[in-house]
Amino acid sequence: MDISIVIPLYNEAESLPELYAWIEKVMSLHNFTYEIIFICDGSTDGSWEIIEELRKKSPAVKGVKFRRNYGKSPALHCGFQRVQGDVIITMDADLQDSPEEIPELYRMIMEEGYDLVSGWKRKRYDPLSKTIPTKLFNATARKFSGVKLHDFNCGLKAYRNVVVKNIEVYNDMHRYIPYLAKIAGFNKIGEKVVQHQARKYGHTKYGLNRFVNGYLDLITLWFTSKFGKKPMHFFGLWGSVMFFIGFAALVYVLTMKMISIFEGDLRPLVTNSPFFYISLTGMILGTQLFLAGFLGELISRNSIKRNHYQIETEI
């Protein structure tokens, strides 16, 4: 099979028939063998009934229905488990992603050898309240991940089959699939300018809170990718720094006290010096960070994936 198209959706009943007809037209025009996997993420507007009708029309249509709304990442994860095509295309169901982009995305994967190609909606039909935070978010994601993409959150992407089978999309990590692919060892990541359609039906399902959650997820992913299997390297380093600062402050306090005693002045109390509290705080925090590192190492040691490595080929 040439192409698997994975479409997560939540309450997009109005757009589904038009989206299916558009995809079918493009696939037939280029003689692709394909499947369309709709992931109905707890929709309450009759989206599933429409998917069932589409399934009756074409065996290429497949569907997965969640009992409740879980989010885009779980939907993509379930879709990736079921795909069979050589190239996987993900796109949104709101008609803002154009199926006309699929043939070129497929060519870039199959002929140019990309592992992943991400869409870049250079011209967007979104309000400034959405576009400005998006630009700031993408700039931060580029800095942290080292993946030079302009639009991490574009739903229109193409993947080599082996990529989606070797990454785990969880929580809200769908924004960072290119970063997840890089962590898994797939470094040939490209970008293509794609057309952004104005929303035709319904309304957006995402609020401004996604930007806050996105930054937190980025920090989590960055930390786990660097220190997930060696937590002591992080906690041990900063524990040592904090303990050294605390110990140095303690030496200073005791030295000042000893000088006062030798000079016959017993009045200054060590608790009157701010360095006493710096030493106390520093040594306690240093010890706690060390303990966190040891606990992290114990957890990592007992993980069933502690020796899970990405092997590209074997002879």
pLDDT digits (tens, 9 = 90+) for 260-301: 888 877 777 888 888 989 999 999 999 999 899 888 888 777
Structure tokens at 303: 């993980």
- Do 262 and 134 share a domain, yes or no? no
pLDDT at residue 210 in the model: 63
* Greatest C-alpha distance within the chain: 98
Band (126; pLDDT cuts 50, 70, 90): low
Q: Which residues of 288-314 are buried (b: 16+ CB within 10 A; e: fewer)?
A: ebbebbeebbeebeeeeeeeeeeeeee
Within this chain, do residues 111 and 62 fall inside the same structural domain, yes or no?
yes
Whether 221 contacts 173, CB under 8 Å: yes
User: pLDDT higher for 268 or 44?
Assistant: 44
Question: How much is the average pLDDT of 252-262?
Answer: 87
Residues 171 and 265 in one domain: no
CA angle 74, 76, 79 (to 5 degrees): 110
Check if the beta carbon of residue 144 is closer than 8 Å to that of residue 222: yes
Give the pLDDT confidence score for residue 40 in this predicted structure.
96
Question: Distance (Å, rounded) from C-alpha 154 to C-alpha 125?
Answer: 13
Domain-embedded: residue 61? yes
Termini Cα distance of the chain: 26
134 shares its domain with 177: yes
Residue ending a domain, choose from 193, 227, 261: 227
Number of domains in the chain: 2
Tens digit of each residue's pLDDT (9 = 90 or more) over 188-197: 999 999 988 7
Does 145 share its domain with 270? no
CA distance 88 to 300: 32
Provide the pLDDT for residue 62: 96
Clarify whether residues 26 and 146 are in a common domain.
yes
pLDDT at position 15: 93
Predicted TM-score (pTM) of the model is 0.78
Domain residue limits at 283: 231-301
Residue 45's CATH number: 3.90.550.10
Q: Are residues 181 and 273 in the same domain?
A: no
Please indicate, yes or no, whether residues 141 and 283 belong to a single structural domain of this protein: no
Residue 124 sits in the same domain as residue 182? yes
Asked if the model's pLDDT at residue 312 lies above 70, the reply is: no
Structure confidence by residue, pLDDT tens digits, 60-115: 999 999 999 999 999 999 999 999 999 999 999 999 999 999 999 999 999 999 99
Of the chain, the percentage scoring pLDDT greater than 90 comes to: 57
Per-residue pLDDT at 207 exceeds 60: no
Burial of 215 (0-12, 13-18, 19+ CB in 10 A): middle
